[in-house]
Amino acid sequence: MKKIAFVFPGQGSQTVGMGKDLADKYPEVMAYFTKTDETLKTPLSRLIFEGPKEELTLTVNTQPALLTTSIALLDFFQKSGVKADYVAGHSLGEYTALVAAGVLTFEDGVYAVRKRGEFMENAVPNGEGSMAAVLGLERDKLSTVTKEVTESGSSVALANLNCPGQIVISGSKAGVEAAGVKAKEAGAKRVLPLEVSGPFHSPLMKPAASELREVLDGLEMNDASIPVVANVTAEPVSVKTEIKNLLIEQLYSPVLWEDSVQKMIALGVDTFIEIGPGKVLSGLIKKIDKAVTTYSVSDEASALAVIDALKEETL
């Protein structure tokens, strides 16, 4: 019997016009975008559909925009009857997974990620933090590099462990630059600075954690109806109190994406369906294990194609 995981993308996957084809055609899909506008008391749907890109890319806008689009796509896709055995999301995408698993209502999810985006942007003054992707260096070697730089007085840490040979580091501008130089000396093929507004998933995000806890404490959370594989532990969780604590830790801890995918495969998952704009996670999953099947649902055409493909596989 096929085991399926739904996975949801994080920041970087957003595009102007995402979800518009479905929203224009199906009122029940447009209803999600309308709910977001009402929840945030701002016309975010217009920004999602029309841009400008620079404004959509701001963290406070990107996070609720991606959650809204992904959940709208999920609702359309699930009308086919396809169900997941596990859900997971990359960073911000974990909140989408929690809405999908019934831990948070859609409106509370939108509100939480808008506040999360604000806290993340305000935690470190603009220009003082940065992130970079390190390609072609093993996790242990890069971990040694970041420890050496931190011990010398500059803050830097592993932030996103995406797949073999692709790890993102995060910290102070000086720390990331120093770690980049040392990573190349240790054998990294490339070090690519990322266009981000802060040092996400690093200890520098800890000031945002207490603020996020206050927000989450004010929301009603439920136990998960589908196990959620958490970024922080790469283990499935269902209990709401544990989920809340892990969301706080997630702000300043590395996203163990490679480990999470490996865990789901170990639990029997053989089919991963990425729901949301882009194909970033599908690409990472294939680099982690070529044997699994991956699909991407980003618009009506791709949703219908995936539904047809799954039907053929079960015949």
User: Can you give the residue ranges of every domain in the chain?
Assistant: 4-123+204-314, 129-196
**pLDDT for residue 159:** 98
**pLDDT for residue 315:** 55
How much of the chain exceeds pLDDT 90, in percent? 95
pLDDT < 50 stretches in the chain: none
DSSP state of 255: B
Contact in structure between 202 and 171 (CB atoms under 8 Å): yes
Question: How many CB atoms are closer than 10 A to CB 153?
Answer: 10
Neighbouring residues of 17: CB distance < 8 A, sequence distance ≥ 6: 48, 49, 50, 51
Rounded distance between C-alpha atoms, residue 178 and residue 173, angstroms? 9
- pTM tops 0.85, yes or no: yes
Tell the CATH topology of 129-196: Alpha-Beta Plaits (3.30.70)
Residues that are catalytic? 91, 201
Integer angstrom CA distances of residue 256 from 35, 160, 200, 231, 233: 32, 6, 14, 5, 7
Q: Kindly state which CATH superfamily the domain 4-123+204-314 is placed in.
A: Malonyl-Coenzyme A Acyl Carrier Protein, domain 2 (3.40.366.10)
Nearest to 167 by CA among 146, 197, 152: 146
Question: How many CB atoms are closer than 10 A to CB 154?
Answer: 17
DSSP state of 227: -
**How would you classify residue 138: left for phi > 0, otherwise alpha for psi between -120 and 50, otherwise beta?**
beta
**pLDDT for residue 68:** 98
